[in-house]
Structure 1
Amino acid sequence: MNKHEDEKKAMELAAVDIFLALYNRNNPIDLRLIQQQEKPDALLEDEASHPIGLEVTHLFYDTEEARRMMSLSELTRPGPELLETFIKVINDRIRTKEHKFKDYSHDYPCMLLIRNVSLLFGMSDILGMKNKLVLPEGYFTQVWLLSRDFTPDWLLINLSTMDDGGRE
C-alpha cells in the first residue's frame, strides 16, 4: 500500500471507531469491527454474529473552502448559498456511493457512513437543510451522518429515519 492508501485506511478506521462508540452507546444491539476491507470499507458484526458492511465516505474542506475560511473572521458564518453548495456535495456523494454499490459484496446488508470533517459546516447546519437532502434509494440499509457541531464532540444521526420535512 502507498502512503495515500495508508492515510485513507487510517481515516476510515478512525471514522469506524467513532461510529461504533456512538452507535453502541445509543442502540440496544452492539456492533463490532471484524475487519477493514474494500467494497465495503469495513465488515461489522452484531451480537448474534450477523455480518453488516459499512461503506465510509468523508466530506472535508477542499481548497475552495480553505480559501473562504481564511477570508472570513471567526464570527462570520458562511452564507446560505455556501451551505446549499455543501448540501449538494452531500447529495452527490450519496449518489456516487449508490452507483458504486453494485460492485460491493451482497452477501450481507450494507450501511453508509458519511463523516463530515468540514470546518465550515456542522451537524446543525446540515439538519437545518434536511429538506434539501436527497436520501438514498434503498441500496444501503441505513445512512449515517457523523459530524461535529463546532465542539470537539462527534454527533451521529441516521439520515434514513429522518422525517422528510414534507418532501414528495
Structure 2
Amino acid sequence: MNKHEDQKKALEQAAIDIFLELYNVNNEVPLRMVQQQEKPDALLEDARNNRIGLEVTHLFYDTEEARLMLSRSELTKPSVEGIDTFIKVINDRIQSKEHKFKDYSHDYPCMLLIRNLSLLFGMSDILGRKRNLVLPHGHFTQVWLLSRDFTPDWLLINLNEVGRGGMK
C-alpha cells in the first residue's frame, strides 16, 4: 500500500470509529466493525449478527475553501452562493457513490457515511439547506452525515430522517 492509500485508510478508519461511537450511544442495537475492506469500506455487524456495509466519503478542506476563509473576517457568515456550492459538492459526492454502488458486494445492505471535514461549513449550514440535498434513490439504506458545527464535538445525523422543507 502506498502513502496515499495508507492516509485514505486512516481517514476512513477514523470516520468509522467516530460513526460507531456516536451511533452506538444513540441506537438501541449497537454496531461493531467486522473488518475494513473495499467496496464498501467497512463491514459492520449488529448485536443480532446482521451484517451491513458502510461506504465512507469525505468532504475535504480544499483550495477554494482556503481562499474563501482567507478573504473573509471571522465574524462574516459564508455567502449563500458558497453554501449552495458546498451542497452541490455533497450532492455530486452522493451521486458518484450511488453510481459506484453496482460494484459493491450485495451480500448485505449498505449505508453511506459522509464525513464533513470542512472548516467553513458546519452541520447547521448543511441542515439549513437540507431541502437542496439530493439523497440516493434506494441503493444505500441510510445516508449519515458526520460533521462538526464549529465546536470540537462531532455530530451524527441520518439524512434520510431529516424532514424536507422543514425541521422535524
Answer whether TM exceeds 0.5 for this pair.
yes
| Structure 1 residue 73 displacement after superposition | 1.6
1:4 alignment counterpart = 4
Partner of 1:149: 149
Over aligned residues, Cα RMSD in angstroms? 0.8
Q: Which runs of 5+ in 1 are unaligned?
A: none
The answer to whether residue 118 in structure 2 is matched with residue 118 in structure 1 is yes
Distance across 1 between alignment mates of 2:52 and 2:152: 28
Which residue of structure 2 aligns with residue 68 of structure 1? 68
Give secondary structure in 1 for the equivalent of 2:16: helix
1:88 aligns with 2:88: yes
Percent identical among aligned pairs is: 77
Q: What is the CA-CA distance between 1:71 and the residue it aligns to? A: 1.5
Which position in structure 2 is the counterpart of 1:100? Answer: 100
What secondary structure, in the 3-state scheme, does the structure 1 residue paired with 2:44 have?
Answer: strand
Shift of residue 61, structure 1, vs aligned partner: 1.7
What is the match of residue 109 of structure 1?
109
**Alignment correspondent of 1:22:** 22
Following superposition, the deviation at residue 21 of structure 1 comes to 0.4
Deviation at 1:76, TM superposition (A): 1.4
Aligned to 1:59: 59
Deviation at residue 60 of structure 1 after TM alignment: 1.2
What is aligned with 1:139?
Answer: 139
- Give 5+ residue unaligned stretches, structure 2: none
Q: How many residues align?
A: 166
Query: Runs (4+) of structure 1 moved beyond 3 Å?
Result: none
TM-score (normalizing by structure 2): 0.97
Give the Cα separation in 2 of the matches to 1:47 and 1:36. 18
| CA displacement 1:118-153 (0-9 Å, x = unmatched) | 000000000000101011100000000000000000
Q: TM-score, normalised by structure 1?
A: 0.97
- How many Å apart are 1:3 and its aligned residue? 0.2
Is 1:43 matched up with 2:43? Answer: yes
Q: What is the rounded CA distance, in whole Å, between the counterparts of 1:74 and 1:3 in structure 2? A: 35
Question: What is the DSSP-based 3-state SS (H/G/I as helix, E as strand, rest coil) of the residue aligned with 1:28?
Answer: coil
